[in-house]
Every structure is written in C-alpha cells, then in structure tokens.
Amino acid sequence: MFAPAPWLSPKRYLLCSRENAHRVASRLFDAQPGRVSIVRTGNPLQPFHVSTSPSRDAHVEVEIVS
C-alpha cells in the first residue's frame, strides 16, 4: 500500500494515488486502445507512472491490454 509523505497536501495525495493512475490509464486506453501500464516508481512525489511502453525492468502494477 502506498504511504504518502506526511508533508504532502491533500491535492497532491490525490494526484499521487494508485486510483488516480488507474483513471489516467483508463482514459488513455479509451483514447487509443493497445497496451497501457501502471508502473510503480519508488518516488514519493510520483509513486505511479502511466506508460504505453514501460521498460523491461519496470515494476508494472497493472496492465490494460486490448
């Protein structure tokens, strides 16, 4: 589970959430079907990253494929 830094604002906490990454990934998939991945970054300011072509060593949390 993602544990945000205590100094993050409520808005930043929302933007950093896995749920927000999933919303972004779903919208991207709807716009251009293919492969969309949610990748865990380890960075507290951007713990999840949405990508259409993650690197081989990326820690993929979720993958949406058509």
Q: Radius of gyration (Cα) for the chain, nearest Å?
A: 12
Rounded CA-CA distance 28/5 in Å is 28
pLDDT digits (tens, 9 = 90+) for 13-52: 888 899 999 999 999 999 998 999 999 998 888 899 999 9
Q: Tell me: pLDDT of 4 over 60.
A: no
What is the pTM for the complete model shown?
A: 0.81
- H-run or E-run covering 59: strand 59-65
What SS3 state is found at 65?
A: strand
Phi/psi of residue 30, nearest 5 degrees: -65, -35
Give yes or no for a contact between 52 and 20, defined as CB atoms under 8 angstroms apart. no
